[in-house]
Structure 1
Amino acid sequence: MDDESKITPQFLVTPDEQSQAILSQLENNGLNPDVYEQIKNDPLYLQLNNALQGFPSTDQEIQKLNDEERLTFEMYLKKSALNHKRVEEKQKLVFKKGFKKVEQKFYQNQLKTSKIKKQNQFSIDFYEIHFKELSLKMKKHLTYFIHPQKKMQIGIITYQSGFKSFNQPYIRTILKSQSFRQEIKDYILNHFIKEVKEEMSFKLSKFIKFCSRMYEEALKEYYVNCAKNNDEEYFRNFIRLKMEQSIVKNSKCKIPWSFQEIIDAQKFALNLIDQEIDMENE
């Protein structure tokens, strides 16, 4: 064994199955409300939340964290540096959320007036109200405008969208509907930021919980396989690299969007709406 390998353990560049299983379990089961509140009161949560808001932590604040917390903070910074999002990706987040909210609002209003309609009839009514006029103008069947991740049943026939994914062409198409455009613009202006900021808090807590589990697993693996190596630098490198493998290099491990990214997403979405209005008025 050379000198380098004595202080630098070697790992695969991809996360192992165990870390993926823990992440999947956390995603599926969520967080116990008591655990969520406990994490929100931890010093680490405060520093990471400040980072999401765009407020850097001081050296003194970081020094107050314990080893596990400092390492988690380091993993967040490394993950954040790799977490660049395209304009289209930011717009997609806004419009997918907006579509869901506009649809939910419509269904809730329909339930107030008619409780005997079936779910698929509500869906048909939704598309007819917002896209019937556009379908005639574009000479497309109404089902062309279905959300790409959903289906519509009319009679015994199940229809799919005219688009393969919730992409830019689909977004630009549904924004040609004046009624839908106005509904989604109202959501973006008045509800989007508040809703996503609430999600940020929960996602940040889940990220902290996952990092804590990965720290525990790294310690277990070290003491099972490397306990005879009492070199302090090797120990620290082992834990750090194991966490990088499970967190930084794990595409399924997500960090919340920063507040600036949320503001940018809102701005880019509103710009796209304005572009459609300008094209309509030409």
Structure 2
Amino acid sequence: MDRPDSPTVVVLGSVNMDLVTSTARRPAPGETVLGTAFATVPGGKGANQAIAAARSGARVRFLGAIGDDAFGTELAVALSEAGVDTSLLRRVDGASGIATIVVDGTGENNIIVVAGANGRVTELTNTELAAIADADILLCQLEIPIDTVLAAARHAHKSATVVALNPSPVAPLPADLWAAVDLAIVNSLESEQYSAELAQVAHVVRTLGRDGAAYLGEVGAEHSVAGLAVDVVDTTGAGDAFTGALVATWNQGAPTALKWANTAGALATTALGASSSIPCRRQIAAALHAG
């Protein structure tokens, strides 16, 4: 699926099994409602973004951890089948990470994440550090210990590897981490939370939901794309689809990457689940051609 001009992307992050319940409306506190469907879908922000990058044609290696449970086996298979290199994926004692997701009739959701094995990624091996140094882009999120993200970003920065950060879920971050970031991908909430820190980042991409996305670069360079009209089924993982597609095409320039990622994110809302809804290169290209 990768192309000769595709970047090599190392994704350091989480991998979870998503437990997805569909319901007409999400319950109020203390209320019980009837669901309409249930599914288990491989997810986790790191894994979703790795799969999205691979489906957009990048050569992707994943760094993270799964448990020694049945979910762990399924998660490893899902990454591998999507074309992600899992040779450095750790398997540790205990449970894999999980996310409990409730999706309502409008496609909006609530999510509770339990870290499981993701919380065990506390140090990077020499082999993992070498993989980061050899990559074109390191992509991180915040569903594993922040100290590990910081160590990876510092090493990548010293090695001239582009450091891309999706600072989600929102958490206090050390200044040293922001100093190593070349590209930040944020939604509206994250943009507001980290407004001061983002001013220091060379390249910032903001996802705007139905309104598309915007880019702000060095020396005031700006670019934006409008939202894509689609029939929304489930917004879970749309931001991850956007982020993975963005880094996969980043070497083609910000305007091209932004348009590609915006289309990938929109298409991801048209199916249930996170990784299961991520479009492939052919689907994205067809939607861009049709538009």
Q: Which has the higher contact order (CA 8 A, sep 6+)?
A: 1
TM-score, structure 2 as length reference: 0.22
TM-score, structure 1 as length reference: 0.22
Which of the two has higher C-alpha Rg? Answer: 1
